[in-house]
Amino acid sequence: MLNTETPSLQHPDLDLYDSARLMQALVDDQRAAVEAVRAAAPALAAAVDAALPRIAAGGRLLYAGAGTSGRLGVLDSVELVPTFSWPRERAVAVLAGGEGAMFVAVEGAEDDEHQGRRDIEVLQPGPDDVLIGIAASGHTPYVLGALAAGRTAACLTIGVANNPGAAVLAASEHPILLDTGNEIISGSTRLKAGTAQKIALNSFSSALMVRLNKVYGNLMVDMKATNAKLVRRAVALTMRAAGVDEATAREALGRCDFSVKTAVVMLLKQLDAPSALALLGRHDGSVRRALAGR
């Protein structure tokens, strides 16, 4: 039996717990998710290094999964757009059962290996693309089909699974084992297995964005200011990075379509918006290198 499916011996009387004890047990069990990702950090770093030149060359991040794993892939792909101004068409997730499965479970869809292959093939993948297959069990046919299509198209393949020896890991160039063990509620991989997947995906994509010059220091300077909250965040980031007051930050942002990295270079290099954009372009969008260069 898979580790993720093996009944836990720690809380055999879980259904008898009162709410306080039940909550403590559920929360405490999540600690194993962090430890599992810690153990996988070297493998994740290697995957970032392998993905970086492909993504820098114009490749896409492709995600494939079913159920909770698939929904976490969708979440990671969607969040890259406002957080890092990542083009929507360059972060694409496919989910067993289609888009509707994001909201309503589509039973049996995860068993369709051919559909997994077809869903990736329709995206016309290529050698610059990076495909991340996610499956808690590590044996989901839909994900295995997607990975097979990725390999055929010469994509870089990354497999994320929560069981040692999983087929998804064997089918990937960069296997990421998140060995979370059994679940406090037997077989419910939406618990710590899912938590570990969320941490791993978030860490992988965030590290990749940092390496792609989407961050200055530890500041999110390539965000999209698409609502009032994000406008305030853009102003605060510009104030901090450039050491200016709010009025100065807002004025600079207003002259560059609220691009934080452009505003920072404008203010610190005393440039107009087109010149700051050109300077950033000469330095691959790196604020740090633009400030040090010409």
**CA separation for the pair 159, 161 (Å, rounded):** 7
CATH code of the domain occupying 228-292? 1.10.8.1080
What is 19-211's CATH number, 3.40.50.10490, 3.20.20.100, 3.10.150.10, 3.40.50.1370?
A: 3.40.50.10490
Percentage of the chain surpassing pLDDT 70?
100
Per-residue pLDDT reduced to its tens digit, 69-109:
999 999 999 999 999 999 999 999 999 999 999 999 887 89
Which pLDDT score, from 0 to 100, does residue 256 have?
96
Contact (CB, 8 A) for 8 and 184: yes
b/e code 170-191 from CB counts within 10 Å (16+ = b): ebbbbbbbbbbbbbbbebebbb
Q: How far is CA 183 from the centre of its chain?
A: 23
Q: What is the DSSP string of 42-104?
A: HHHHHHHHHHHHHHHTT--EEEEE-HHHHHHHHHHHHHHHHHH---GGGEEEEETT-GGGGTS
For 248, counting Cβ atoms within 10 Å of its Cβ (0-12 exposed, 13-18 middle, 19+ buried), the class is: middle
Q: What is the CA radius of gyration of the chain?
A: 22
| Annotated catalytic residue, options 35, 99, 107, 110 | 110
Strand, helix or coil for residue 241 = helix
| Residues contacting residue 123 through CB under 8 Å, at least 6 positions apart | 60, 62, 92, 94
Is residue 79 part of the annotated active site? The answer reads yes
Residue 294 has pLDDT above 90, yes or no: no
Is residue 113 part of the annotated active site? The answer reads no
| Annotated catalytic residue, options 5, 35, 79, 113 | 79
Residue with structure tokens 């972060």?
A: 91
Residue 1 pLDDT level (bands cut at 50, 70, 90): confident
**CA separation for the pair 294, 252 (Å, rounded):** 20
- Identify the CA nearest to 73 among candidates 137, 159, 185: 159
* pTM given for the model: 0.94
The domain spans of the chain are: 19-211, 228-292
Which pLDDT score, from 0 to 100, does residue 234 have?
96
Per-residue pLDDT reduced to its tens digit, 9-68:
889 999 999 999 999 999 999 999 999 999 999 999 999 999 999 999 999 999 999 999
